[in-house]
Chains A and B, each alone.
Chain A
Amino acid sequence: MTPLHHRQANHPISAGATRLQPLHWLPLAALNLLRNPFGELTRADRVRAAVVDLAPFREILDTEMTAIQFLADCGRGKTTHLLAIANQFPESAYVYLPEDGRHPKIPDGDPLLIDEAQRLPWLVRRRTFRRGVRLVLGTHVDLRGPLRRAGYRVWTYHVGQNLSGRQLAEMLNRRIEIARLDRGPIPTISIEEADALIEQHSNDIRAIEDTLFDRFRQQAGQFHGEMRFND
């Protein structure tokens, strides 16, 4: 794997009327970042960071009795897809079903987005699917059978499959952008670097983010502006 690196200006931004305040005491101020971009995010920031082409999903969800299921292992981006779609529909409701503890009440919403839908108990699933609202499910298990039996037309997407370096670079750079401190250059990840990360971690986005968290952490308090994303 070729070690690639570098900090570059990502886009020129014209100087505005406001003055920049360096905040040198922030650990990643030298990289023009507020914080480590690859730490956990708030739900709002996850939506902002999502790189999801929503047009095809909006088109599918224009029709009644449609269901979209996102199938993938953990850490591939199912939740990100659900949150990005939820953000497009003001009448939608999103619910996450935890593995342990009591499941929350399935809310009213159209479309209804259920994360970890494979955890729906049989009876609750049956009742939910009978509501007839548009459904968007994040699941590890293929739920085509029960959905079809309830009268739904089902679209299945395997999240993370065929992840390209270009897509990954866009996703990662958007996360870095969210952590931006001020105008001016911030670190960027090139397509070649993203390709190398895919070679290393396949499509496991969470593992890639963990690796990058450590890379940025090592830069804390450093006063030079060059970063190396791959070893």
Chain B
Amino acid sequence: MAKCDLTIELDQPDRLYQPGDRVCGTVIVQANDDINCKGLRVSSGWATHGRGNIDSGEVSGEIVFQGKWQTGNEYRYAFDLPAGDWPPTYHGVYLSIDRYIKAVADLPWAFDASVSRPFRLSCLAVPSGGANKVVPQSGMIGKMIGVIFVVVFGLVMLLNPFLWLIGFVVAIGASVWWFATRYLPRKRLGSVQYKLQRQQWMPGEKLRATLTVHPRKDIAINGIIWTVTGQETCVSGSGSNRRTHRHEFFSDGQVDHNLTRLLGNRETVIDLSLRLPRTEAFTMDLGDNNIQWTTQVRIDIPRWPDWKDKQDFDVIPSPEPVDGGSTTQPSPAAIPNDDAGTEVGEGPAVTFASTIEMIDSLQGDRHQIDRVVEAVRDLPMQLAIIPERRELASATNPLAYPTGHVVVGHTVEPRMPVVMYIPRSLADEFEQATDRQWEGAGSIVGYEHHAGRLQLRIEEYRV
């Protein structure tokens, strides 16, 4: 048995803290032995966890006790610490970031006892100075070593005539690459400029960019492909054990195949825009763990190397809170959405189509999707679905009818995968409706995040 057991009780464990707030609570020590504690330290900080090496930081800490604890007694120490400001709580696929209150008891001649308790922090803005990057010291040292290495390598190259040959081969390779990917497309297209309207964007905003092309003569193109991606990148291990894990949590874009000719001696301006998801995946660089947003544009030129460009942008917190800090279920009307007419909960407008549209606009934002689903759960609706096939594996799901079937399919517009729990009485009807639209009564009963599909329960009778 450990010499003592530590527990942390937060006064508001489910509160969504904001920068500037203070986290209050109590550290409880249950002494299992007579102990002379050299210091009970309580701190507030953050740590990443997931696929990447752990990055962490401390906001503030204090020693709340030094002295003796006696066997069998319980001791309570109150704390009041700042919540911190950056990074906010984030739960992704390969990367998660949690804020913690941590208590460590320094015990002589024994392992230190420690405990931590997470709390939620939301950010309404990037920290002052715009630094959404937490650069660890080791990273700066690494960069300095890299610069020194390049300088020394360059000098050695210059001083050794034999190495000039290697340099020559590298230079030829680089020239061929530049000629094929930069010079040739530019030769055909003339001046091309790809520009994002600004560097920082907020979740739910419409990301806007312009592509300006000014060819010298008419040129045929196959189209313009613009992609926007959000990616978690986590590095684990080091040296030969170093591995980089990437997860693309958002990928969308715009493909324009209508523009097939760019006119010569004329400036063609192409506006590109895309609504960003309502996400908490803000741009972050925490050392071995980061979240990066990138846009890439490609002009597809027939029988010629394509012109490509890439530009990163920052997704920053919106000043509008994602969650008001309440632990109760939100009303549907409280769910923020700046697309007029798609709010669930405004009078009689709660339709299956509007709900699907809203969930679709929240792509990638697990928390918000759960809130919408929770708000409309079990609400009778008129559904329009295209069934695809019967699924056997999910038949044991508690949401399914005991003797019913499970059918997968998708909604019509926007297209969204669904899994339907249907009563036995409708089995034949669904079998016949495969790949054709089926309409009937049912309700939304959940959302499977791992499969990215909506769970629907179909009613016994048709409306």
Instruction: Enumerate chain A interface residues (CB-CB to B < 8 A).
Output: 16-19, 21-27, 34-36, 39-42, 74-75, 96, 98-102, 116, 213, 217-218, 220-222, 224
Q: Which residues of B have CB within 8 Å of A220?
A: 91, 449-450
Known A-B contacts A101-B145, A220-B449; A42 and B366 likewise in contact (beta carbons under 8 Å) = no
Closest B residue to A183 using CB positions: B7
B47: A residues at CB distance < 8 A: 42
Q: A-B pairs with the 8 shortest C-beta distances? A: A99-B239, A21-B13, A98-B239, A99-B240, A39-B50, A35-B49, A39-B49, A18-B7
Contact of B239 with A40 in the complex, beta carbons under 8 Å: no
Question: Does the CB pair B14–A25 fall under 8 Å?
Answer: yes
| B10 contacts the other chain (CB 8 A) | yes
Using A35-B96, A101-B145, A220-B449 as known contacts, say yes or no to A25 and B120 having CB atoms under 8 A apart: yes
B403 on the interface (CB 8 Å rule)?
no
A46 to chain B, nearest CB (A): 10
Q: Contact between A40 and B236 (Cβ–Cβ < 8 Å)?
A: yes
Measured CA separation A84–B369 after assembly (Å):
44
- In the complex, are the beta carbons of A41 and B118 less than 8 A apart? no
Residues of B within 8 A of A100 (CB): 239
Please report B residues at the A interface, Cβ cutoff 8 Å. Answer: 7, 9-10, 13-14, 28, 30, 47, 49-54, 56, 74, 91, 93, 96, 98, 116-118, 120, 142, 145, 236, 238-241, 366, 370, 398, 449-450
B93: chain A residues at CB < 8 Å are 217
Q: Are B118 and A34 in contact (CB under 8 A)?
A: yes
Provide the residues of chain A in CB contact with B51, threshold 8 Å: 39-40, 213
Q: Which residues of the partner chain B approach A35 to less than 8 Å between Cβ atoms?
A: 49-50, 96, 98
Number of interchain pairs (Cβ within 8 Å): 77
CB-defined A-B contacts under 8 Å, sample of 26: A16-B7, A17-B28, A18-B9, A18-B28, A21-B13, A21-B14, A22-B14, A24-B14, A26-B98, A26-B118, A27-B91, A34-B116, A34-B118, A40-B51, A40-B54, A42-B47, A74-B240, A74-B241, A98-B239, A99-B239, A101-B142, A102-B145, A220-B449, A220-B450, A221-B366, A224-B398
Judge whether B240 and A23 touch: CB under 8 Å.
Answer: no
Cα of A138 to Cα of B77 in the assembled complex, Å: 43
B449–A40 CB distance below 8 A: no
A178 CB, min distance to chain B CBs, angstroms: 11
Asked if A98 meets B238 with Cβ closer than 8 Å, knowing A18-B9, A35-B49, A224-B398, the reply is yes
Complex alpha-carbon distance, A76 and B376, angstroms = 49
B49:A16 contact, CB within 8 angstroms: no
Q: How far is the CA of A10 from the CA of B118 in the complex (A)?
A: 23
Instruction: Select A36's contact among B9, B49, B120, B398, beta carbons within 8 Å.
Output: B49
Q: Which residue of chain B is the closest to A97 with respect to CB atoms?
A: B239
> Could you tell me the distance between the alpha carbons of A217 and B50 in the complex, rounded to whole angstroms?
9
Residue of A nearest to B93 (CB): A217
